[in-house]
Structure 1
């Protein structure tokens, strides 16, 4: 497999590369950044790949996330869901609506029920994927593969709640709760899909080379995906876990 083919293969889950590294893969001769960057952009476009931050933003040497540009079709999403949860796939019923609390407090308006537990559960999964090999989080799907949809989350958002507002809230939560949330956002691709007449969200998470930490109360914690679980790793055990993870990661 040549270098371009490897890039396409790994981009399906997201891979971090700088513009100089991409220039080397594309065999673009060294030159001024103003010449190299557009040339890299053209090569990416030919391969159907996108980069975040985009070519015209950020520092020339900084790491960027390379991923596939096309939105996956609903037919692919349906097949992916049927595989069930695993090391790279997780389902959450909601992001903003706490179903258990709502059932125990049926007379309480949905907007007055704290979503903290379900929010943290979703973001913890994102953190685990970032620190492992990446993965996909679906919101609007129950563990038993029942399609729950996003209607309750939209209701929590108030009048006019829709997927655009939902995505904005999700991105705001990521930016505010991760140690370097603005950088983490570049590792996410969020799309909506209609399955069984219900809208669900697909959050594709690219792995990071740098460790990601999620705020839990007053402290930041490290989570990593282990099989179909997302585990919290204590600070004293972090160096050995990261060392083992990096040894098992492919070079590309």
Structure 2
């Protein structure tokens, strides 16, 4: 049952370790339920309802006092109720009066408060990335990429004369509250200098578009000024509370089967950890001839998707999202059509990665204004995929909207966490 939860919680609840939880007691009712229901949840909707309760119990510190009494009460609900999730949530409402989060709940709250870890889960659910290296926070591995938090407005700037005093406990709470925290990997956190947010936040947004929004940072640059710090806190509390409530509401919505996405949908979405554009497979637009190194770059991107959570590669789309087509690639082929292109692509994947991984890929084509684009859909591979290049083995993953090689040590850590845990 624990092995099952270890699989379910990262994928559905963005909980990757006990570091994401205030207490492991919130897992007890889940384990009891699974123990009486063949060791698994009965479908996606039931998973979401239990996660909804788990988030509520986590946020409202269900088990921080009277622990044994409340666990006994909740386990009894699990064993006797036909609607355990609803009854468990009602027990929290009876205790707390509500499960909705209000901006005032965050006021003066530090990293010791349950809302801190709920905010950490929230930003992972929103697809947040590290502001300085682009690593997705939902997929970080290794000590260098452990998640830590950093002051958005540096404490050294706030603890200046005529601002806040480190000797005033109320001032200390204002400086260190959750609304002044951003989640980064330790690799970035240890290297940050005490910069004014008005200086560094625009750079973050330029390097990683939407990185600020995904961490619920107010978009108004006026609020990034030191003399607007408390206005910044007010707005960020509002954004965090609203996002938590939205996440909770989404968990209870009935799911509808989504319509198949089209080429236009992918282009509109833009590049991300699960989507990349490549202008060509082998045609070098600079030298005006075939270049096998470009094919290798395409295969490395596919390997990155296979080694992470899967994704989609569009060939025939440039970095600006313009459909340039693969017709120039056709001209370099013995068979100058879609079938010939697909044969060359699959052969390259087989040569560099191994034929066994082709079954995790689906290749399709769409046309726009007489220009052809290739859509490669990659599922997550059940085992590590290496790029074999001139006798050397290279390992790639997706990090943000890029494909990143890992050295031997980091690849070993990643493989151990991703497949062998």
TM-score between both structures, scaled by the size of structure 2: 0.38
Say which of 133, 138, 147 aligns to 2:314.
138
Please list the CA deviations of residues 176-230 of structure 1 after superposition, one character each: whole Å capped at 9, or x if unmatched: 111xx12110011000101233110000001112000012233111101111111
Please list the CA deviations of residues 65-99 of structure 1 after superposition, one character each: whole Å capped at 9, or x if unmatched: xxxxxxx86x7221111111000000001102111
Query: Given the alignment of the two structures, is residue 231 of structure 1 paired with residue 407 of structure 2, yes or no?
Result: no
Are the counterparts in 2 of residues 98 and 117 from structure 1 also a CA contact under 8 Å? no
Structure 1: which 4+ aligned runs deviate by more than 6 Å? none
Say which of 152, 161, 165 aligns to 2:340.
165
Residues 100-111 of structure 1: pairs in structure 2 closer than 5 A: 100-102=286-288, 110=289
Structure 1 pair 247/2, CA: closer, same or farther in 2 (3 Å)?
Answer: farther
Are the counterparts in 2 of residues 94 and 140 from structure 1 also a CA contact under 8 Å? yes
Unaligned residue ranges in structure 2 (runs of 5+): 1-40, 47-258
Q: Distance in 1 between matches of 2:45 and 2:333?
A: 43
Please list the CA deviations of residues 12-52 of structure 1 after superposition, one character each: whole Å capped at 9, or x if unmatched: xxxxxxxxxxxxxxxxxxxxxxxxxxxxxxxxxxxxxxxxx
Which structure's residues are more often helix, by fraction?
2
Moved more, 190-199 or 122-131: 190-199
Are the counterparts in 1 of residues 383 and 419 from structure 2 also a CA contact under 8 Å? no
Q: Distance in 2 between matches of 1:85 and 1:4?
A: 28
Tell me the residue number matched to 1:156: 332
Q: Distance in 2 between matches of 1:153 and 1:222?
A: 27
Tell me the residue number matched to 1:206: 379
Are the counterparts in 1 of residues 277 and 315 from structure 2 also a CA contact under 8 Å? yes
* Higher Cα Rg, which structure: 2
CA RMSD of aligned residues (A): 2.3
Say which of 324, 334, 349 aligns to 1:174.
349
Q: Which has the higher contact order (CA 8 A, sep 6+)?
A: 1
Say which of 183, 189, 192 aligns to 2:365.
192
Tell me the residue number matched to 1:93: 279
Structure 1 pair 247/184, CA: closer, same or farther in 2 (3 Å)?
Answer: closer
Query: Given the alignment of the two structures, is residue 122 of structure 1 paired with residue 291 of structure 2, yes or no?
Result: no
Unaligned residue ranges in structure 1 (runs of 5+): 7-71, 103-109
Are the counterparts in 2 of residues 78 and 195 from structure 1 also a CA contact under 8 Å? no
Q: Distance in 1 between matches of 2:268 and 2:312?
A: 13
Q: Distance in 2 between matches of 1:136 and 1:169?
A: 18
Are the counterparts in 2 of residues 97 and 153 from structure 1 also a CA contact under 8 Å? yes
Q: Secondary structure at the match of 1:100?
A: coil
Task: Tell me how far 1:5 sits from its aligned partner.
Answer: 8.1
Tell me the residue number matched to 1:46: none
Task: Tell me how far 1:238 sits from its aligned partner.
Answer: 1.6
Which structure's residues are more often strand, by fraction?
1
Moved more, 120-129 or 215-224: 215-224
